[in-house]
Amino acid sequence: MVMQDSEICRDNSFTGRSSLKAGLRIVLFFAALLLLLALSMLLGPSGIGIPDLQSPSGSAILSLRFSRLLMGMMTGAALSASGVVFQALLRNPLAEPYVLGVSGGAGLGATLSILGGSGLFVTLGLPVVAFIAAVLTLMLVYLIASQGSSGHPSVYSLILSGVIVSSICSSVIMFLVSTASVEGMHNVIWWMLGSLQPVSSGQQLLSAALIFGGLVGIWLLSPRLNALALGREMAHYQGLHADFVLVVGLLFATLLAATAVSLSGMIGFVGLIVPHVMRAFFGPDNRKLVPLAALGGGTFLVVCDALARTLLAPIEIPVGVVTALAGGPFFLIILQRRMKQAWIA
């Protein structure tokens, strides 16, 4: 990644050069993404390198790797972009889909539909049920947080009630799992651990459409997210429908998170850390941040998945474990060096 003396950016006599550097940085970022994606196509439990395309098994392996790459891109992009939005709207570095109970709610909805539904309902209904459950959870969180405040809940009460509702959701999931049949239990736990095993093509298409729609929606909203960084009140003074932006932003972010959860289970870390790192490198301007975080988050998850299926082959490590174990220290170092460019801290 680009190493650059941050002092140069801040010195106003270098304005022209700094924008040139920012452009260069983005070009390098894209090059790195393409390289990493290509590398991850080479990794798999069957061996490292391009499989023999002449044999039927070889092309099957390659197409399997490619569909996992698509799964990873979709899930990672959705989680990271949703994290960007939650952090911008709540003006808090802790905000992410998990903290507000959105992932927990989506997980609960998904669990219910895995255990209760069957056939087509599971494949196509899963994202929808997850989204509805996530929205209901978000509404519940908002309602609890609003109690006692005059009108609008504070960020702190939102996060507090989100954490509480989130842990209630996971208790209910555990209860459902413990009373489920062996087969149901197996399905739910597999799904919960998080995995980029390709789902049915119907669900993939639906999820792709939902995620694409959510990303576009958020990107259109992104200039307004910038204005909300100074708070609801200031955004109102500047002529925004601040509450409208807040609600629409939360809905889009919830849609993304819920779709990601229904697609690949509970993969933590991506929605929290990737937005921070992207902000540290490219600044907090959400117009740039939303697409960059989506691409960066997707690639990050694809790489983690490639490692997960290769490192202990033929055993596959849950990808959530890799995101946290491999990504954690790496990102912490970056954040420690560049936090100033992202948050005041």
Partner 1 sequence: MEQAALTFREVSAGYKHRKVLDNVSFSVREGEFVSLIGPNGCGKSTLLKTAAALLKPLSGLVELFGQDVHRIKPALRASLLGVVPQKIESPMAFTVSQIVMNGRISSIGRWGTISSRDHDLVERSMIYTDVLGLRERYFTELSGGEQQRVALAMVLAQDPKIIMLDESISHLDINHRQEVLQILMNLNREKQMTILLVSHDLSLSASISDRLLLMDSGRLIKAGRPAEVLDPEILSMVYKCDLRVQQDPYTGYLQVSGAVDSLNRRKQLNRNVHVIAGGGSGIELYRRLLIEGYEVTTGVLNRLDSDAEAARALNIQVVLEQPFSPVGSDAIAEALKMIDNADTVILSTVPIGSGNLVNLELASEALKRGKTVLLAKGIADRDYTEGKAALQIVTKLMTDGAVGWQSIQELMLQLHQHSHS
Residues of this chain that interact with partner 1 (CB under 8 A) are 9-12, 15, 18, 88, 91-93, 150-151, 220, 222-224, 226-227, 229-231, 233-241, 279, 283-285, 287, 340-344
Give the span between the Cα atoms of 189 and 206, in whole angstroms: 23
Read off the tokens for 85: 């939005």
Minimum CB–partner distance for residue 209 and partner 1 (Å): 21
Closer CB to partner 1, residue 143 or residue 205?
Answer: 143
CB of 3 to partner 1, least distance (A): 19
Q: Which amino acid is at 252?
A: F
Locate 121 and state its tokens: 């309902």
CA nearest 188: which of 81, 282, 82, 261?
261
Complex with partner 1: residue 88 or 258, whichever CB lies closer: 88
Min dist CB 224 to partner 1, Å, is 6
Q: Which is nearer to partner 1, 191 or 331 (CB)?
A: 331
- Per-residue tokens: 150: 């005059």
Which CB sits closer to partner 1, 30 or 244?
244
- Shortest Å, Cβ 338 to partner 1: 10
Ramachandran assignment for 43, one of left (phi > 0), alpha (psi -120 to 50 degrees), beta (any other): beta
Tell me if residue 312 falls in helix, strand or coil: coil
Q: Residue 11 phi/psi, 5° resolution?
A: -75, 120
The answer to whether the beta carbons of residues 133 and 103 sit under 8 Å apart is: no
Cβ 260 to partner 1, closest distance in Å?
24
- Using the minimum distance from each CB to partner 1, give the nearer residue, 294 or 304: 294
